Amino acid sequence: MEYKIYKLRFKTGVHFGNGLLNDSINTVKADTLFSALYLEALNIGKNDELYKMANDSRLFISDAMPYVEDDIFLVPKPMIQVKTDKKQDQDEIENNSVIKKRVKNIKFLPITNLDDFLNGDIEKIEDDSLKTGYFEGMTKARVRSHDEKGIPSDTLPYHVGVYNFDENAGLYIITAYEDEEVIKLIEELLTSLSHTGIGGKRTSGLGKFDLEIRDLPSDFANKLFTKKHISDKIFKKYMTLSTSLPKDDELEETLENSSYLMEKRSGFIYSTTYSDEFRRKKDMYVFSSGSCFENIFDGDVYDVSEGQNTHKVYRYAKPLFLGVER
């Protein structure tokens, strides 16, 4: 597999939904990203091509994760117990409780500090490397009713949660690909997406970004794996960098000696060729990024449509793994 990093430098604020309109998170899950790419592909008649690339394991994408200072790439906190020294005096024990609190508050950390984290050297992780931006509320007006002539008679203010990335921060996506045909399509779709925007409230101007393409540093790439492209298990634990779900015949082996968090993924289908009105996707429970496994799995691209419309609707749930514990 070959790897590339796509950096998203946002020109506007973003609204990435977490179930609350007046709130926003600062990452994009892989399934949401794939859906956005699929809609762009649908507009140019290449949606089947994109699906086949992912379904045949020629293409893998990570969640869109934070970066800072141009080249400090953050990864999810591994769901692995942090090592501590059992022989501690009282001062060390009290200090350790402070460390535990900080560990709990960390959601992402620089990949260069991953070994420090696993060894319990939390103090080596600088706070500045974890700051990516700030949250603010944006007030909008919604038309509440119309009179008999169809003229708006009342408006109702509502609040939208917006996340603003610092000038030196943004999101990055890791793409693993088998051939140039794959990467050519992905770059075409991401370029198109940079203009239309990603996330919610795009009609209000949110979610626009500049796209920067970079090769993945070799020390990062050497720790990346997929089920199809692994020959020897050189790590004891592998962490997912994308929301994912094993196939039914993979589940039992996947769960052996694993540590994971599951999350509900739902949402609406934003496609005028699918339906004239918004339709809900089928709900799915998937492993969150940061979940850790001894046995890696292939996952799938699942159909979450109602099955009676013009095209299928897919939820991407194929993992890209990072080796975290030798």
List, for residues 205-240, the tens digit of each pLDDT value. 788 999 999 988 888 999 999 998 887 778 999 999
**pLDDT-wise least confident of 12-16, 149-153, 230-234:** 149-153
What range defines the domain where residue 191 resides?
2-325
**What pLDDT is stored for residue 188 in this prediction?**
98
pLDDT tens digits for range 21-69: 444 568 899 999 999 999 999 999 999 999 999 999 999 999 999 999 8
* pTM for the structure as a whole: 0.85
Three-state SS sequence of the chain: CEEEEEEEEECCCECECCCCCCCCECCECHHHHHHHHHHHHHHCCCHHHHHHHHHCCCEEECCEEEEECCCEEEEECCCCCCCCCCCCCHHHHHHHHHHHHHHHHCCEEEHHHHHHHHCCCHHHCCHHHHCCEEEEEEEEEEEEEECCCCCEEEEEEEEEEEEEECCCEEEEEEEEECCHHHHHHHHHHHHHHHHHCCCCCHHHCCCCEEEEEEECCHHHHCCEECCCCCCCCCCCEEEECCCECCCHHHHHHHCCCCECCEEEECCEECCCCCCCCCEECCCEEEECCCCEECCCCCCEEEECCCCCCCCCCEEEECCCEEEEEC
More confident position, 153 or 11: 11
pLDDT digits (tens, 9 = 90+) for 152-208: 555 555 556 788 999 999 999 999 999 999 999 999 999 999 999 998 767 777 889
Question: What pLDDT does 137 receive?
Answer: 61
Number of domains composing the chain = 1
pLDDT higher for 255 or 128? 255
Q: Is the pLDDT of residue 274 over 70?
A: no
pLDDT confidence of residue 270: 61
> Predicted confidence band at 320 (pLDDT cuts at 50, 70, 90)?
very high
